Amino acid sequence: MTSDAWVLTALTIITAATPLVYAAIGELVVEKSGVLNLGVEGMMLAGAVASFAVAHVTGLGYLGALAGAVAGTTLAALFALLTLGFQASQVAAGLSLTIFGTGLTALLGQPLVGIAFKGVPEFAIPVLAEVPVIGQLFFRHDLFVYGSFILVPAVAWFLYRTNAGLTLRAVGDSHDAAHALGIQVLRWRLAAILFGGCCAGIAGSYLALSYSPMWVENMTAGRGWIALALVVFATWRPGRLLLGAYLFGAISILQLHGQAVGLEIPSQFMSMLPYLATIIVLVLTSMDRGKISLHAPRCIGQPFYPAS
């Protein structure tokens, strides 16, 4: 394989991993606060359909991305109302959110099927974009990809280098102790849930406006579930999550390269690879109980009942 082919392959991996980075890092922050939101898939779909609809009407891709972020945040707010306000089961509410988002977007997106969008523009960073190989890999992208490069280290810095991040992790590790110290547990969890919804909405926006600029029903194709698995795979650490996202991005494009080189493997099996890898990764990760217990938020999935 020539150097140009390697660069092209690496670029494809980066673009395939970008929605996973956004969705997974948002869910990581949510889970660090002690909340498990299984509605990532539904929020991504909401972001995809909202962003594409606004971009189609206005012709402005990044305005569509803003609409996608708002749509994802809105569904996250609904989840927060159910779980924090009414103390509903987080698992049931998350699954309901995914089912609701899938059905609602299929309905709202029906008039948009078959319409193409020009996509969002790329921005080459002066000087850096001219560096051989490195410039093409990292400095000739759209704002979605640049944002994914920045978001992961920013979240890592927030969680482990700021008082606010320490407070958020304290809420996830022991909400009763945090409450006893005067921390507003529900407010911190609400902020984390809304952030996760915003990230999921941006992930969906990227799919509809950049990765494959069109609207197709259920176009996330299970990426929300892969993002959930990535958080566990990364043992709730942002750096490992980034590596995991690129690993899954590489697996997801393997089917395309396999078909291009003429591998005699059924296309259906190649399409299964990302989800098969998800199952294998979860099994292998669950075998190392030490790392999971060391990094997992201890109150994840547990409702908080503030003292009256």
Q: Is residue 198 part of a domain?
A: yes
pLDDT at 3 over 80: no
pLDDT (0 to 100) of residue 291: 65
pLDDT greater at residue 138 or residue 267: 138
Region 101-130 average pLDDT: 92
**What pLDDT does 274 receive?**
75
Round the average pLDDT of the chain to a whole number and report it. Answer: 90
Q: In the prediction, which pLDDT does 277 show?
A: 77
pLDDT at 139 over 60: yes
174 lies in which domain range?
A: 3-295
Note the pLDDT of residue 261. 59
Q: Say if residue 116's pLDDT is above 90.
A: no
β-strand partners of 140: 124
Residue 302 in any domain: the answer is: no
Domain annotation covers residue 308: no
By 3-state DSSP, what share of the chain in percent is helix, strand and coil, each rounded to 5?
75, 0, 25
Instruction: Give the model confidence (pLDDT) of 169-226 as tens digits.
Output: 999 999 999 999 999 999 999 999 999 999 999 999 999 999 999 999 999 989 999 9
Query: How many structural domains is the chain composed of?
Result: 1
Residue predicted with more confidence, 113 or 253: 113
pLDDT higher than 80, residue 2: no
Is 200 contained in some domain? yes
Q: State residue 256's pLDDT score.
A: 65
φ/ψ of 198, rounded to 5, equals -60, -45
Answer whether residue 88 is part of any domain.
yes
Could you report the per-residue pLDDT of 23-52, keeping only the tens digit for each? 999 999 999 999 999 999 999 999 999 999
- Residues in CB range of 104: below 8 A, 6 or more apart: 46
| 141-160 pLDDT, tens digit each | 999 999 999 999 999 999 99
Q: Taking 90 as the threshold, does the pLDDT of residue 106 lie above it?
A: yes
Any idea what the CATH number is for the domain that residue 79 is in?
Answer: 1.10.3470
pLDDT of residue 267: 64
pTM of the full predicted structure? 0.94
- pLDDT score recorded for residue 296: 84
First to last CA, the chain: 66
For residue 307, being part of any structural domain is answered with no
**CA–CA gap between residue 66 and residue 201 (Å, rounded):** 9
Structure confidence at residue 276 as a pLDDT band (50, 70, 90): confident
Nearest to 251 by CA among 232, 229, 236, 235: 229
Band the pLDDT of 260: cuts 50, 70, 90.
low
DSSP-derived letter for residue 123 is E
Residue 181: inside a domain, yes or no?
yes
The whole-angstrom separation of Cα 290 and Cα 276 is: 24
Better pLDDT: 117 or 197:
197
